[in-house]
């Protein structure tokens, strides 16, 4: 548990952010085009640790959102709901764009953190993942590193908690990422991230498979032809469409609403603790 709060249980948790917190690439069996994700899984851990066996949970995150949109659209809604815990993870989409200023992004983010802390809520932040192994996206590494440094400073000043993804060696395993876009976690990646977030908050998690740090067994090397084919498929399937949306001023989240816009009770279940 990092400095920042003496709490170990919370009653109303609200998650803010973009596709990472919406849970993309972690399909929810509840319906088509529905996703679970690390924040939903964390809410389950919070419910299991609560004396009441439940937590009120809202998820306002929408894919494609930039930090200014999160601050303008989601933060006021979250503040009005009077949570005692928020996760505020945003800025990744901004940092993908050439010319993004991590100093400005961090200053804007800190203003929101201050608002939540003054309202009595604990705040969970998360660093960006080190992109050194991802072609093209690795060009953002310097900006991500500067933004991450700011996050740790913000947390120290404001009493927030940080989920350290930059230093998570297991996240450098390509099998933790959706092979179609390489920027969204698989179900296993989200499962481990929820456990890491619970550990950062000091929330105990019972059950099997709770050691999120253990790496996967080494993968067999792939033939060079297969690697080249996968690289080309990634460029055609993700990079070029992403560039096209930027040129047209479009976002993957256009027209979408939050999947869980109001705090609703979430009961602890065995699957929320030992999920796969």
Single pTM value for the model: 0.92
Q: Are 166 and 128 in contact (CB under 8 A)?
A: yes
Q: Are 53 and 267 in contact (CB under 8 A)?
A: yes
Q: What are 265's strand-pairing partners?
A: 56
pLDDT of residue 66: 97
Q: Are 180 and 237 in contact (CB under 8 A)?
A: yes
Rounded mean pLDDT for each run of 10 residues along the chain, 276 residues in total = 68 97 93 92 96 97 97 98 98 95 98 98 98 90 98 98 96 92 92 97 91 87 83 81 82 89 89 51
pLDDT of residue 273: 47
Domains observed in the chain = 12-274 (3.40.50.1110)
Terminal Cα-to-Cα distance of the chain (whole angstroms)? 24
């Amino acid at each position: 548990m990092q400095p920042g709060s003496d709490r170990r249980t919370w009653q109303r948790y609200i998650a803010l952010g973009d596709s990472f917190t919406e849970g993309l690439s972690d399909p929810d069996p509840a319906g088509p085009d529905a996703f679970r994700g690390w924040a939903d899984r964390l809410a389950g851990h919070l419910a299991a640790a609560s004396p009441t066996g439940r937590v009120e949970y809202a998820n306002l995150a929408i894919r494609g959102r930039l930090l200014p949109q999160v601050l303008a659209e989601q933060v006021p809604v979250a503040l009005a709901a009077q949570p005692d815990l928020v996760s505020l993870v945003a800025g990744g989409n901004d940092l993908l764009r050439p010319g993004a200023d991590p100093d400005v992004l961090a200053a804007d983010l800190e203003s929101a953190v201050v608002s939540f802390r003054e309202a009595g809520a604990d705040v969970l932040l998360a660093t960006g993942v080190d992109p050194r192994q991802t072609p093209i996206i690795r060009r953002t590494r310097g900006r991500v590193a500067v933004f991450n440094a700011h996050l740790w400073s913000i947390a120290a000043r404001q009493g927030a908690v940080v989920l350290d993804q930059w230093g998570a060696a297991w996240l450098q395993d390509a099998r933790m990422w959706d092979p179609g876009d390489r920027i969204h976690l698989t179900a296993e990646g989200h499962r481990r991230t929820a456990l890491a977030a619970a550990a950062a908050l000091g929330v105990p998690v019972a059950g099997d498979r709770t050691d999120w740090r253990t790496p996967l067994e080494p993968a067999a090397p792939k033939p060079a032809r297969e690697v080249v084919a996968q690289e080309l498929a990634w460029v055609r399937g993700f990079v070029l469409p992403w560039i096209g949306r930027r040129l047209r001023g479009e976002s993957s989240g256009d027209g979408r609403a939050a999947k869980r816009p109001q705090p609703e009770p979430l009961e602890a279940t065995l699957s929320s603790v030992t999920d796969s």
